Amino acid sequence: MSGLTDKTIAELRDGFRSGEFTAVEIAEGFNEAVAASDRLNAYVEKTPELALEAARAADAAKASGDLKPLSGIPIGMKDLFATEGVLTSAGSKMLANFKPPYESTVSGNLKAAGAGMLGKLNMDEFAMGSSNETCAHGNVISPWRREGSNAALTPGGSSGGSAAAVAAGIAPGATGTDTGGSIRQPAAFTGICGIKPTYGRCSRWGIVSFASSLDQAGPMAKTVRDCAIMLGAMAGFDPKDSTSIDAPIPDWEAGLSSDLKGKRVGVPKEYRIDGVPGEIQKLWDQGLEWLRDAGAEPVEISLPHTKYALPTYYIIAPAEASSNLARYDGVRYGLREMVEGGGLHDMYKATRADGFGAEVKRRIMIGTYVLSAGFYDAYFTKAQKVRALIKEDFRKAFETCDLILTPTAPSAAFGLGEKMSDPLAMYLNDVFAVPASLAGLPAMSVPGGLDDAGLPLGLHLIGKEMDEQTVLNAGLAIEERAPKIDMPEKWW
Amino acid sequence: MSVTLDDVRHIANLARIAMSDEEAAKLLPELNNILGWVEQLGEVDTDGVEPLATVVDMAMRLREDEVTDGNCRDAVLSNAPDAEHGFFAVPKVIE
């Protein structure tokens, strides 16, 4: 059935429930679209039979009046979530053949809510990258192209497969993870929505670890409402994650309202940084106008330690990564490389030399250095202190505002290969996204419009701890006012 | 503060990553670039600031000391590159 793959999750759910189409028809439509999408390289593993199995269960549940929140909805799963019996490679050669004997809490929650799985989505290796070019499976290509050009663009990263899949209509929604912008930047690059909830809302259990004090799962979908629906199914207390927040999950979808009367929206003066294109600045001003039109009152705020957020992140994240990735030792799972006549240590070294890509090695090396004897306090402890100041900046700012508006990324999607030679230039992609990660705050990207080349730009909303609802509501207010973005025509 | 080629070899050894001289030489300027950039944190006055280890302000939870998982040896070993007699197998450690 054609046309189904253009629909939002809410439209699919409602159409399925009203009998307009069956869950099997939805799953078949998406399975077909996924099968014809190889040029995008978004899926590293396709699981059409799992999507169909859940669809048959959904059709049966409808007949017996036993529907669940996501019955009938197939989704794409970032390849960072452990999925029982299904390849979970984290975009790495290290885990090229890894099939977990268990299910991550978030993917399990989605399945328990009735969702089917279309497959596993490509990503930067171990979620370390902003362009999808560090994947061991080769990079994802964005379905978007600049007007009048066939040059291949990045979908952003690290959740680039998820972003490309939603924009291309080969998944109505997808899971992402965000350590320093990995949901929000690719959402902005592909004209879709993505929300990173408050740290601790979604269980990290079964998500391949990158930087544990920052990693957080979230949904990526075409609309704010779809994000609210998916996040409601993904989030929840999990005793298996010691940083999981034991608090009730609000019905975010039911709470959606674009009336922002009484809300104060903060505009941080420190986010007006040099070198950001004029059209990004223009969109930011326009976004503020839209929020004002929805009833919000703009206020200028100050986040004085903003310029130190990225360097803080690039100490803390690699440090935690170097510790987390020590588990890849060639013993219990993953790749093993033996050295002729060598012992255990040679095996460790050869395995890790062969299994990790260049960016992952670079970050492990940085992390190992900043944690090593003699440098720990100067780098790591120092960064943790600055992180405390960054969190304090937000606490103070939220005394005078209820949410914060910024651009999501300092540019639109760039061409593949354009930034790979300069790690620092690549890191700057997340300049607006990283502070909220360091503070553990909920943050969302929603599409604001297109740039002069016809590429999507995103607006970024940061909320108070646990206040995803205000973030979603402000997102909805922007969505209702921003020019509607037509997803790219199929060329792949 | 900048690192030397010997430092790079030392860090690679700590991280248990085999590295050729050529790779180490390529990494050297990259690491120094990144380390030079993060050193701007030195400008920030952090006297008396407690380091932030987690953004979640909560006490560690305790649970009953009871078995909640287990009896799944074969599943645990199912992804092992080498397993023998119900154990992970590794190259010889003791000469």
Q: Catalytic: A382?
A: no
Among A199, A322, A424, the residue with its CB nearest the CB of B37 is A424
Nearest-angstrom CA–CA distance, A112 and A402: 34
Nearest-angstrom CA–CA distance, A362 and A349: 15
Q: Are A100 and A134 in contact (CB under 8 A)?
A: no
pLDDT, one tens digit per residue, over A70-82 is 999 999 999 999 9
pLDDT, one tens digit per residue, over A36-55 is 999 999 999 999 999 999 99
In chain A, residues with a C-beta closer than 8 Å to the C-beta of B79 are: 97-101, 332-334
**What spatial distance separates the first Cα and last Cα of chain B, rounded to whole Å?**
40
Single out the catalytic residue among A158, A244, A322, A445.
A158
Nearest-angstrom CA–CA distance, A338 and A336: 6
Q: Is A384 in contact with B53 (Cβ distance < 8 A)?
A: yes
pLDDT, one tens digit per residue, over A101-113 is 999 999 999 999 9
Q: Are A393 and A401 in contact (CB under 8 A)?
A: no
Beta-strand runs (E) in A32-183: 43-46, 74-78, 116-121, 173-178
Q: Catalytic: A2?
A: no
Q: Are A316 and A310 in contact (CB under 8 A)?
A: no
Closest approach of B56 to chain A, Cα-based (Å): 7
Q: Catalytic: A307?
A: no
Q: What is the mean pLDDT of each successive set of 10 residues along chain A, which is 492 residues long?
A: 87 98 98 98 98 98 97 98 98 97 98 98 97 94 96 96 98 98 98 98 98 98 98 97 95 98 97 87 97 98 96 98 98 96 94 97 97 95 98 98 97 91 85 97 98 97 98 98 96 96
How crowded is the C-beta side of A188, counted as CA atoms within 13 Å? Answer: 34
Nearest-angstrom CA–CA distance, A117 and A47: 7
Closest approach of A324 to chain B, Cα-based (Å): 12
pLDDT of residue A368: 98
Domains and CATH numbers, chain A: 1-492 (3.90.1300.10)
Nearest-angstrom CA–CA distance, A374 and A80: 34
In chain A, residues with a C-beta closer than 8 Å to the C-beta of B41 are: 308, 311-312, 315, 382-383, 386
Whether A36 and chain B come into contact, CB under 8 Å, resolves to no
Q: Is A125 helix (H, G, I), strand (E, B) or coil?
A: helix
Q: Is B41 in contact with A366 (Cβ distance < 8 A)?
A: no
> What is the number of CB-based contacts under 8 A between chain A and chain B?
161
**Per-residue confidence in pLDDT tens, chain B, 95 aa:** 689 999 999 999 999 999 999 999 999 999 999 999 999 999 999 999 999 988 988 888 888 999 988 899 999 999 999 999 999 999 888 76
Nearest-angstrom CA–CA distance, A442 and A444: 7
Nearest CA in chain A to B87: A332
Closest approach of A104 to chain B, Cα-based (Å): 15
In chain A, residues with a C-beta closer than 8 Å to the C-beta of B15 are: 322, 352, 364-365, 368
In chain B, residues with a C-beta closer than 8 Å to the C-beta of A331 are: 80-81, 88, 90
Domains and CATH numbers, chain B: 5-42 (1.10.20)
Among A213, A245, A386, the residue with its CB nearest the CB of B41 is A386
Environment class of B56 (CB within 10 Å of its CB; exposed 0-12, middle 13-18, buried 19+): middle
Single out the catalytic residue among A78, A93, A111, A263.
A78
Nearest-angstrom CA–CA distance, A142 and A186: 10
Whether A421 and chain B come into contact, CB under 8 Å, resolves to no
pLDDT of residue A2: 54
Nearest-angstrom CA–CA distance, A166 and A40: 12
B-contacting residues of A 132-191, CB under 8 Å? none
Q: Are A427 and A404 in contact (CB under 8 A)?
A: no
